Amino acid sequence: MRKIFFSGAVLAASLLLGACGGPESPTPAPSSQAGHNAADVAFAQQMIPHHQQALEMAKMVPSRSSDPKVVDLAGRIDRAQDPEIRQMQGWLKAWGVAATSHAMPGGHEMSGDHPMTGMMSDADMKSLDAAKGPAFDRSWLDMMVKHHQGAVEMAKTELAQGSDAGAKALARKIIEAQQAEIAEMQGLLKG
């Protein structure tokens, strides 16, 4: 009787462990509720408005720029960051948290007077909106370099403090893409 009970217990344990996953198990979604922490939430909540401002800046370019290279770069920024915004919004929804946070690191509130890292102030955006031609191109490139540097800083913080695999993968992608774009913009400013 003990042998049958022991064999049954071993079989039950094996089945339970087998149900937990194995090589044939599907890979879990990169952003599960259990796999995120406060740093992941902050990364998404702050990167969304950061990317939204980059899109706003990119949309100014076609009607104001005199440089086809700047127009091309702005189009690439728009095509890259819009899907990233939707991805981060999806994570926040899955995590059950608000898509926006008014509290910024260091106790600052997000506003035109106290922007997060790399964000342009309302005055910066008005100045950019008023510019045209080569003056616009130079201002836009200068501002977008700073903007991208801020995004890279935020992404590095996510890599250091975050726990969600999907958020960390996006942070690595942002660092790689935006550092390359920073180098490109610096080249355009010199040329």
Convert the pLDDT of each residue in 73-95 to its tens digit. Answer: 999 999 999 999 999 999 999 99
CA-nearest of 177, 176, 172, 147 to 158 is 172
Enter the tokens of residue 21: 């996953």
DSSP, collapsed to helix, strand or coil, labels residue 103 as strand
In whole angstroms, what is the distance from residue 67 CA to residue 129 CA?
16
- Single-letter amino acid code for the residue at 46: Q
Domains of the chain, start order: 34-190 (1.20.1260.10)
Q: Look at residue 177 and give its three-state secondary structure.
A: helix
Q: What are phi and psi of 102, to 5 degrees?
A: -85, -20
Name the pTM for this structure: 0.76
CA atoms within 13 A on the CB side of 35: 12
CA dihedral defined by 110, 111, 115, 120, rounded to 10 degrees?
A: 140
| pLDDT given for residue 33 in this prediction | 52
Binned at pLDDT 50, 70 and 90, residue 102 comes out as low
pLDDT confidence tier of residue 143, bands split at 50, 70 and 90: very high
**Confidence at residue 117, expressed as pLDDT on a 0 to 100 scale:** 84
